[in-house]
């Protein structure tokens, strides 16, 4: 069972996605619990302000420390300690090792930024693993939070329908992309399925898949092969 708290100013942007497919089913089966926390509700002023102008000037607004500190403290008081993940382009890039690590936690807290990002004291005063989706800038952390959530949830035992499929995915075996897949029809617009996949010889299929995975990795991602460093 994985419990996830997502702190966001736009819970409705996340709601539809987490109710669908594997994440929706995992919640219905009691293997995953997702709580959306709108941290605006922890702002104490009349207008429920969560952002303010940056000290020193400059464009844009900065997320204030107080509502976020209060929201985090409230979640941990009510539910227990969380592995806290801050979504930011300045973080370490999300990969399968992080997903595997997060999937073993009892409770995750994901903090989505907006505007120019966070008051630095949110970083200084709380303990975070800072995660980025890559070298580009999104308008908010929600898509990054969903990527962390889904990549971790897939690895929680019992969440995927076919346990084997996560083990065969790209990056599951260190340093390999997934092999090519085919389904019916056997011929589509003149393109055929490799003979071996139609042969019924399971051992030959396994050998072919392993070889294809290695070839594909060598061609597209030689950097991840174990002997590349
Ligand atoms: N001024 C910030 C900077 O340049 O690093 C960018 C702020 S961005 C417009 C607003 C929020 O989107 C960030 O606080 C973060 O939560 C999220 N975000 C943007 N790009 C991201 C990325 N590559 N990975 C993870 N989160 C990202």
Please give the distance, rounded to the nearest whole angstrom, from the Cα atom of residue 73 to the centre of ligand 1: 23
Position 228 scores a pLDDT of 65
- CB atoms near residue 22 (< 10 Å): 14
Third-level CATH fold of 2-153:
Alpha/beta knot (3.40.1280)
Query: In this structure, are residues 44 and 66 in contact, taking their beta carbons and an 8 Å threshold?
Result: yes
Assess whether pLDDT exceeds 90 at residue 29: yes
Cβ(43) – ligand 1 distance below 6 Å: no
From residue 193, alpha-carbon distances to 176, 186, 213 in Å are 22, 6, 16
Give the torsion sign (CA, 114, 120, 125, 130). positive
Q: How far apart are CA 11 and CA 6, in angstroms?
A: 8
Enumerate the domain spans of the chain: 2-153, 168-224
| Cα atoms in the Cβ-side hemisphere of radius 13 Å centred on 216 | 15
What is this structure's pTM? 0.95
Judge whether 89 counts as a catalytic residue: yes
Please give the distance, rounded to the nearest whole angstrom, from the Cα atom of residue 108 to the centre of ligand 1: 19
Assess whether pLDDT exceeds 70 at residue 181: yes
Query: In this structure, are residues 23 and 32 in contact, taking their beta carbons and an 8 Å threshold?
Result: yes
Helix ranges, the chain (H): 11-18, 21-28, 65-79, 96-103, 120-125, 142-153, 163-168, 195-198, 202-220
Position 163 scores a pLDDT of 66
Q: pLDDT class for 229, splitting at 50, 70, 90?
A: low
Catalytic residue, from 169, 178, 209, 214: name it.
169
Assess whether pLDDT exceeds 90 at residue 115: yes
Assess whether pLDDT exceeds 90 at residue 89: yes
HEC string for 126-166: CCCEEEECCCCCCCCCHHHHHHHHHHHHCCCCCCCCCHHHH
Residue 90 Cα: closest atom of ligand 1: 5
Per residue in 48-80, pLDDT tens? 999 999 999 999 999 999 999 999 999 999 999
- Across residues 111-121, what is the average pLDDT? 98
Nearest C-alpha to atom 8 of ligand 1 is from which residue?
139
Which residue matches tokens 């926390």? 37
Assess whether pLDDT exceeds 80 at residue 37: yes
What is the C-alpha end-to-end distance of the chain, expressed in Å? 36
Judge whether 116 counts as a catalytic residue: yes
Q: How far apart are CA 38 and CA 25, in angstroms?
A: 24
- Across residues 86-114, what is the average pLDDT? 98
**Over the Cα atoms of the chain, what is R_g?**
22
Per residue in 154-178, pLDDT tens? 999 999 977 667 877 888 877 899 9
Position 167 scores a pLDDT of 79
Of the chain, the percentage scoring pLDDT greater than 90 comes to: 91
Tokens coding 144: 């990054």
Nearest C-alpha to atom 9 of ligand 1 is from which residue?
139
Position 166 scores a pLDDT of 80
Assess whether pLDDT exceeds 90 at residue 226: no
| CATH 3.40.50.1000 given to domain 168-224 | no
Position 164 scores a pLDDT of 64
């Amino acid at each position: 069972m994985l419990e996830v708290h997502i702190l966001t100013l736009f819970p409705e942007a996340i709601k539809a996605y987490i109710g669908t497919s594997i994440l929706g089913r995992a919640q219905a089966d009691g293997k995953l619990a997702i709580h959306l926390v709108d941290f605006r509700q922890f702002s104490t002023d009349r207008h429920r302000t969560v952002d303010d102008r940056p000290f020193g000037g400059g464009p844009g607004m900065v997320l204030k420390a107080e509502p976020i500190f209060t929201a985090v403290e409230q979640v941990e008081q009510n539910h227990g300690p969380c592995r806290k993940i801050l979504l930011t382009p300045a973080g370490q890039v999300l990969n399968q090792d992080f997903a595997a690590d997060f999937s073993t936690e009892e409770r995750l807290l994901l903090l989505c930024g907006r505007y120019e990002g966070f008051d630095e004291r949110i970083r200084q005063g709380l303990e975070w693993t800072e995660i980025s989706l890559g070298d580009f800038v999104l308008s908010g952390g929600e898509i990054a939070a969903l990527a962390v959530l889904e990549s971790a949830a897939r690895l929680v035992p019992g969440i995927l329908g076919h346990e084997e499929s996560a083990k065969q995915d790209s990056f599951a075996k260190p340093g390999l992309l997934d092999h090519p897949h085919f389904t019916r029809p056997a011929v589509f617009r003149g393109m055929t399925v490799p003979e071996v996949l139609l042969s019924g010889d399971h051992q030959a299929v396994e050998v072919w898949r392993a070889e294809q995975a290695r070839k594909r990795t060598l061609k597209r991602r030689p950097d991840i092969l174990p002997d590349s460093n």
